[in-house]
Every structure is written in structure tokens, then in C-alpha cells.
Amino acid sequence: MRIERARPYVVKALHAALNPRSIAVVGASRNPNKVGYQVCKELMDWHFKGEIIPVNPRATEILGLKAYPTLRDIPHPVDLVFVAVPAHLVKSIIEDAVAAKATCAVVATSNFKETGRADLQDEITSYCREHKLPLIGPNLVGLGSPYDSFNCGFIPYLPIPGHVGMISQSGANLLAALGTSQKDHYGMSFFVGLGNKADVDFAEFIEYADEDPHTGCIGIYAEGIDSPEAFEASAKKVHKPIVAIKVGRSKIGVKAAFAHTASENADPDKFFDDLFARAGVIRATTWQEFLDMTLALGMMPPAKGENIVMITNGGGAGLLACDHFERIGYPLKELKDISPELREKIRAYMPSFGSPLNPVDISGTADVVSYEGAFMQAMTDSHTDGVLGAICPTAVTDVPGVAQAAVRVVEATKGLNKPFVMICQGGQECQDAIMYLRDHDIPAYPTAEQAVNAMVALRRYGEIAKSKK
């Protein structure tokens, strides 16, 4: 159901929902093959720090935890009610949640608006709004935060701690991102699947993310935006970058989005382009681009200008990057046009056959000292707005050493508020370097195009942030 603006009571409740001290799992089961059992078990296995309260009218104990017949029987209010029962039971459960003074309800159950039960979904939503009980879902996969070891839902992964607040309407894509988090060290601050977003909408999560101390970037996967006015107002209001991927662009995608999460996309895609532009939201086209952009924006400050310097030991990587910068509308400038002084300083870190253009090619023989010196000069030059480093592993390249040098440089130049992005294209040593760099809050990528997309997102957010002032 639509909202005109993000509701303060909802935003406040989301703090409890995403950092709960207690979770009641309605539909908790004694049977290991059932979802309600797995939800409780996952919470325990991930060492959730709060209280887990199974609710099941036929069980007195589940997984060693005391079970209650209904929410009303729990002797104290709970922060979060997680509902994993069939749709026809949800109305009564929500009434119990209100009676039990729960702070927030998450309904994982499907079979609502997406299958024609819009009236039931709306009735439950209206009831929730009347009683100021925020309802997340229905038809969602779950939510959580690695900072509290909180993983609630049908989710086999807990992401590594990081800076991206992931708000996804798709459970599958959320799961993909969570899997990526572990595999590729894509850190998150929190994650939530919105599903049908009957009540709590994007706008409220955006405002929550702005208040969440762990979140550096807000990532949104949307199939439909039911309350564009609220979305725009909240996006304009917040002080953190937002990257959105809005699907359903194709004709058949429009139908699929409705069947999936009851998302209605009557508006042409240009509507969303315009909405995002007005709201200061960066729109990603592909899933990979979405991940790459959010990673960088979560870790790095925006680029305040277009003076981006690229430092590489491989001409090929540099050329790929140059072409892609230009292709997406942010061509690199030559180094002499950015900073003639830097051009001269940086020569000290390259052999005579190196190239002090932009990209700056410090050559395949570059050692750790050359890299560290060039990085440091580029970052500290007053005319530069960001640095893109690249490693191509030649026989003499100390890939781990260069990665460590990058970490030292970024640490030393933190106060300058400039972004630093790395490309590590190569074999396992490069993959290891990427993980190492990401673990140290440096966005690093295996291809030039990914890194350029990330740097351009940092630049675009620099423009957005400036326009918000």
C-alpha cells in the first residue's frame, strides 16, 4: 500500500527490527525438514546474540528453547515477530503481535497479492497501520545484519560485515548478494528482502540506512516502486549514496515482476530514469555493476571532481580502462592537464620507458616501492580527485606487496577524502589481493571495466552530494 512519506514510527521501529534483542518465530517447528525449524536453527547457528522465542501451539520446546502457544503468551514484548505460516493464518498472528506489543512484524509467507489475494494483504496492512505495527513483507526471504550475527529467514548465508545496506525486493537476488558477500568479500551492514512491501516501503529503509552507523551505501533492487513520492523525498533527504537497480524493463519482465512480488510497472522505464535522477539515485544497469558500484560507494568517499589518475604496470589494463571511462561519459584527462607537477614527481617511480600520461604506466618491472611512491604522489597531489591503481602480475610483480602498499597509502591519506580503487587482473594471487584489499576497505576488482564503473559511481555521487548542499 502506498505511503506519501516515510513514517517516523516505522523508521524508528526498523532499528529494533534490524538490531533486535528478541525474535519470536511464529511457525517454529520441531521438524528439521521444515522452514520454521531452520529459521530458529539458523539464528542459533549464527550465534544470534538476542533471545529466540519459538511460537507453536503444539510444542512446548523447540531446539531446547521454550516454545509458546501464541504471541500473546510470551511474558514480555518482543522486538521482532518473524512469521513463517501459511497466508490464511497471518491475519490472526498479526492481531496477536499487536496485542503482544511487538515492535515490528516480518511476514515471510507468500500467497498474497502476487497470487490474487490483494484484499487480504490490504486488510492486514491497514490493520498494521491502524495499530502502528510496521509489517515487512509479505512474501520475503528474510533480513539480518552481520554486526549482531542476526540472520533471520530462509537464508543460508550471513554476509561479512561491511558498509552496504542491501534492500532487495527479490529474495533470490538478495541470496545471490549474500553468497557473493562471503565468496568475494562484499561486506554488508544489513540486508532485507522486502517482498510485496505491503506496508514498510523503500523510503523507510532508506531513512533507516541513513541513521545506521554501519551503512556507507544503500543498495536497492526494485521490481516496482509503489510510492515514488516517498521514495524521492527520502532519497533526497539522506546523506549516503544510493544505487538502485530497477528491473522489469522488458515487456515480459513487467509481467514477471507482477507474478513475483505483485509489482505493478504501469509507468514506462523513463519514469524511473527521471525519478532516480531527481532523487539523486545512481541507477545500475546490470547486477554486476550494481555490486561493483555499491561496494565502492560503501568503502570510499566520493570523487569531488573529474581529475582521476590511473596508475598501472600494464598498458593493456590502462587502455581498457580509458576506453570504458570514455564510453560511459567520463573520459580521463591527460596527466599534464590535471597536474603538471604530479607528472614530474611520478617520473621518479617509473623507468625511462614508462609513460607519464594518464594512465600512468609505471611499467611491468614496477616493484612495491615504485607502486607505493606513485600511489602516494597521486593521492596527495592537490589537483587529483581520485586514484585508480592496477596490478598486472608480471614475473617480477609482487602482487601481495603492492596490495599492502595500497593499504598503507589509503590509510595514510584518509584525511584527504579521496577515493582509491584497484584493479587486480590475473590469477589466484590477484584474487587473493582483491580479497585482501576489500578486507581493508579498498574496493578492488578483477577487470578494468568493473573498476571504472566503480570509480565513475564515486564521481557521480560526488556530483549528487554537491547538488544536495
Partner 1 sequence: MAKTKKPISSVTDSCAGPTPVPKGYNRTEPGIIGMNADQMVAYNIAKSFCNVYPEVFNLPLLAKKLNITAEEAGTRIRRMLAKHEIMLVNNPQVNVSGYGLFYWVVKLKADASPEARAALTKWFQENDQICTGYPMMAGGEFDYFNGNHMRNLDNLISGVLDKFRYRDCIEWVHLCPIRRLIRESHVNQFDCHADFRHYFFPAEQVTKLCRMQKEMDAIDFGIIETLNNYEHPHEMFDVSVLARLSGLDADKMAKDFDYTVEQVRCQVPMIYFNYASLGLKMRFFLVDFFPSTLTDAGEQVIDELASRPEWVNIFDFGDAQHNIILSAYDDLNDMDELRQLIRSHSEVMSIREAVSDHQFRRWTCRLDADSGMWEECVMTDDLFVDRTLEDDFSHIVASREEDTSR
Q: How many residues does the chain have?
A: 469
Angle between helices 202-211 and 228-237 (to 10 degrees): 10
Q: Are 187 and 134 in contact (CB under 8 A)?
A: no
| Spatial separation of the C-alpha atoms in residues 322 and 343, rounded to whole Å | 18
Q: Provide the residue type at 364 as one letter.
A: G
Residue 126 found at the interface with partner 1 (CB under 8 A):
no
Residue 30 found at the interface with partner 1 (CB under 8 A):
yes
Of the residues 69, 156, 268, 340, which one makes contact with partner 1 according to CB under 8 A: 69
Dihedral pair phi/psi, residue 139, rounded to 5°: 70, 50
Of the residues 58, 76, 251, 469, which one makes contact with partner 1 according to CB under 8 A: 58
Task: Give me the least distance between CB of 69 and partner 1, in Å please.
Answer: 6
Residue 85 found at the interface with partner 1 (CB under 8 A):
yes
DSSP state letter for 164: E
Residue 120 found at the interface with partner 1 (CB under 8 A):
yes
| Spatial separation of the C-alpha atoms in residues 258 and 237, rounded to whole Å | 29
DSSP state letter for 91: H
Of the residues 124, 230, 284, 406, which one makes contact with partner 1 according to CB under 8 A: 124
Copy the grid coordinates of residue 55: 511460537
Of the residues 4, 45, 61, 334, which one makes contact with partner 1 according to CB under 8 A: 61
For partner 1, give the closer residue by CB, 88 or 101. Answer: 88
Q: Which of residues 287-346 bind partner 1 (CB under 8 A)?
A: none
For partner 1, give the closer residue by CB, 116 or 351. Answer: 116
For partner 1, give the closer residue by CB, 28 or 140. Answer: 28
Residue 31 found at the interface with partner 1 (CB under 8 A):
yes
| Spatial separation of the C-alpha atoms in residues 403 and 406, rounded to whole Å | 5
Task: Give me the least distance between CB of 129 and partner 1, in Å please.
Answer: 15
| The one segment of 117-125, 164-172, 344-352, 400-408 that binds partner 1 by CB under 8 A | 117-125
For partner 1, give the closer residue by CB, 57 or 415. Answer: 57
Task: Give me the least distance between CB of 137 and partner 1, in Å please.
Answer: 16
For partner 1, give the closer residue by CB, 107 or 284. Answer: 107
CA atoms within 13 A on the CB side of 89: 13
Residue 285 found at the interface with partner 1 (CB under 8 A):
no
Copy the grid coordinates of residue 185: 568479500
Q: Are 443 and 454 in contact (CB under 8 A)?
A: yes
Q: Are 218 and 243 in contact (CB under 8 A)?
A: yes
| The one segment of 80-88, 201-209, 260-268, 323-331 that binds partner 1 by CB under 8 A | 80-88
For partner 1, give the closer residue by CB, 99 or 396. Answer: 99
Alpha carbon 18 to chain centroid, angstroms: 15
Indicate left, alpha or beta for 438 from its phi (over 0: left) and psi (-120 to 50: alpha).
Answer: alpha
Closest C-alpha among 174, 151, 142, 185 to residue 45:
151
Residue 86 found at the interface with partner 1 (CB under 8 A):
yes
| The one segment of 57-65, 323-331, 375-383, 406-414 that binds partner 1 by CB under 8 A | 57-65
Q: Please calculate the CA angle 349-353-358 and round it to the nearest 5 degrees.
A: 65
Of the residues 57, 213, 329, 415, which one makes contact with partner 1 according to CB under 8 A: 57
Of the residues 21, 47, 88, 183, which one makes contact with partner 1 according to CB under 8 A: 88
| The one segment of 24-32, 297-305, 377-385, 407-415 that binds partner 1 by CB under 8 A | 24-32
CA atoms within 13 A on the CB side of 365: 7
Task: Give me the least distance between CB of 44 and partner 1, in Å please.
Answer: 17
Residue 123 found at the interface with partner 1 (CB under 8 A):
yes
With CB under 8 A as the rule, give the number of residues binding partner 1. Answer: 21
Residue 33 found at the interface with partner 1 (CB under 8 A):
yes
Task: Give me the least distance between CB of 264 and partner 1, in Å please.
Answer: 22
Q: Are 180 and 157 in contact (CB under 8 A)?
A: no
Q: Are 13 and 136 in contact (CB under 8 A)?
A: no
Of the residues 89, 172, 348, 396, which one makes contact with partner 1 according to CB under 8 A: 89
Copy the grid coordinates of residue 23: 525474535
| Spatial separation of the C-alpha atoms in residues 337 and 358, rounded to whole Å | 10
Of the residues 5, 51, 70, 271, which one makes contact with partner 1 according to CB under 8 A: 70
| Spatial separation of the C-alpha atoms in residues 192 and 218, rounded to whole Å | 12
Task: Give me the least distance between CB of 322 and partner 1, in Å please.
Answer: 52
CA atoms within 13 A on the CB side of 323: 9
| The one segment of 119-127, 144-152, 312-320, 337-345 that binds partner 1 by CB under 8 A | 119-127
Instruction: Give the footprint of partner 1 on this chain (CB under 8 A).
Output: 29-31, 33-34, 57-61, 69-70, 85-86, 88-89, 91-92, 120, 123-124
